[in-house]
Amino acid sequence: MSTTQQSPTAAGSGANASENFKAAAATNDVADTPPERVAAIVTSVLQGVHDAIKTHDVSYPEFQAAKAWLMAVGEGGEWPLFMDVFVEHAVEEQVATSQRGTKGSILGPYYLPGQVRLPSVCEFPRRDDERGLPLVFEGQVRDIDGTPLAGAEVDLWHADADGYYSGFAPHLPEGNLRGVIVTDDEGRFQITTVQPAPYQIPTDGPTGQMIEAAGWHPWRPAHLHLQVRAEGHRPITTQIYFAGGEWLDSDVAEATKPELVIDPREDADGVRRSTYDFELEPQSEA
């Protein structure tokens, strides 16, 4: 490659994710939760902590270590990283119980809004020397009744062949491997890109220290991130994984689902091709 790779730090990734989250929260509705529900949820969370302390006979030195770690996570700006990796999947699964359409998955900390809009058949923004197996990903966006959704937005982003995301790795140009594809009159799209690599979450900060102390691994399987949107329909946030990929059965974020795994077939030109359709439920049913 013509550029020098610089691994993103946990603090840097956390700072970027925090900034993006705060910007999104400023423009989106925030839950107006009544006091009695706040009390119920917080009480339950604290009770879970108290139960863990009793179950595992937690000592004062262990408590002080946990307290210092929590402080370090905040000071290092890693709360978005920690929450998205270890907590978001449980929220997504709970919300999904009352939703119809394509299976969802976590958003993760690497989403960046406002990316370039692309036609229904397009090539992803990428470097001239972008490495990786060529991948053509196509499909159709439909209502749950099968009606094609023309003009739907397929907001897609993914890591490069080394597992890095633009906007979070200093050596990558802005907008690399990110874009919003607008479907045609039949709700179809086709994008040419490269297959992403598995990647490990940043481990140089307190989140990584916790993972190492627990004897876990920090890897996520290769995947495409998507937000699929259409007027009058509930948007879907999801991830598409690759059959046979490393870490597929032991994702550190516990976000994989069998329904979201594709198995691209390689054509005579060495291009991997796969089709995946998305179904959105009307907003009134959400």
CATH code for position 210: 2.60.130.10
Could you give the number of structural domains in the chain?
A: 1
- Give which of 179, 138, 177, 159 is closest to 278, Cα–Cα: 138
pLDDT of residue 31: 66
Domain-located, residue 2: no
Per-residue pLDDT of the chain (286 residues), as tens digits, is 344 455 555 555 555 666 666 666 555 655 678 899 999 999 999 999 999 999 999 999 999 999 999 999 999 888 888 998 899 999 999 988 888 999 999 998 899 999 999 999 999 999 999 999 999 999 999 999 999 999 999 999 999 999 999 998 889 999 999 999 999 999 999 999 999 999 998 888 999 999 999 999 999 999 999 999 999 999 999 999 999 999 999 999 999 999 999 999 999 989 999 999 999 999 875 4
Domain-located, residue 3: no
Domain-located, residue 4: no
Sign of CA dihedral 254, 210, 14, 80: positive
Domain-located, residue 80: yes
What length is written for the chain?
286
Domain-located, residue 1: no
CA-to-CA distance for 48 and 163, rounded, in angstroms?
35
Domain-located, residue 116: yes
The DSSP result for 115-134, as a single string, is PPEE-SEEE----TT--S-E
Residues 6+ apart with CB under 8 A from 257: 103, 105
Question: At residue 195, what is the residue type?
Answer: Q
CA-to-CA distance for 111 and 103, rounded, in angstroms?
19
Instruction: Give me the residues paired with residue 219 across strands.
Output: 200
Helix 10-27 to helix 79-86 angle (10° resolution) is 80
CA-to-CA distance for 122 and 9, rounded, in angstroms?
32
Domain-located, residue 233: yes
pLDDT of residue 19: 67
pLDDT of residue 2: 40
Domain-located, residue 5: no
CA-to-CA distance for 134 and 269, rounded, in angstroms?
10
CA-to-CA distance for 135 and 222, rounded, in angstroms?
13
64 phi and psi, to 5 degrees? -65, -35
Q: Which two tokens stand for residue 156?
A: 């897609």
Residue 254 domain boundaries: 10-286
pLDDT of residue 232: 96
Q: What are the helix and strand counts (H, E) for the chain?
A: 6, 14
Any alpha helices (H) in the chain, and if so which ranges? 10-27, 35-55, 60-75, 79-86, 88-96, 206-214
pLDDT of residue 203: 87
Contact between 182 and 122 under an 8 Å Cβ cutoff? The reply is no
Sign of CA dihedral 80, 15, 225, 234: positive
Contact between 182 and 152 under an 8 Å Cβ cutoff? The reply is yes
